[in-house]
Amino acid sequence: MSKNYSEYYMQIQNRMNSLGKALPGPMSGFAQLHKATIAEGALSTKTKELISLAIAVTVRCDGCITFHVHDALQAGATPEEIAEAVGVAVLMGGGPSVVYGSEALEALDQLGE
């Protein structure tokens, strides 16, 4: 059964907002870390999102895959760049990354519409 990645993205966003209310200090710190890390620097935000996506695939994190496909698209990544990032994840993660990489491409199909 395929996920509806747009709905899944919103569900995770809502859950993270709830977590932020329950844990304002740690989640505020995490938000600051995320903002500083993803900001343009020696690497572009797009490159950082593609790296994040590849890591998400290799660690098998469905929600992370959804978020980083979304955010990579928002940062200007092309479908081809996202597919290549998934390819790197498959290289580094083997068979399980093939399964989660397939999920990432399904998310791309849905979120890239």
Report pLDDT digits (tens) over 11-34: 999 999 999 999 999 999 999 999
Average pLDDT, the chain: 95
**Tokens 């709830």, located at residue:** 18
**Total domains, the chain:** 1
Q: How far apart are CA 34 and CA 112, in angstroms?
A: 23
Strands (E), the chain: none
Residue 89, domain extent: 5-111
The model's pTM is 0.92
CATH of the domain at 29: 1.20.1290.10
Query: Quick one: pLDDT at residue 105?
Result: 94
The 8-class DSSP code of residue 43 comes to S
Query: Token digits for 24?
Result: 């304002």
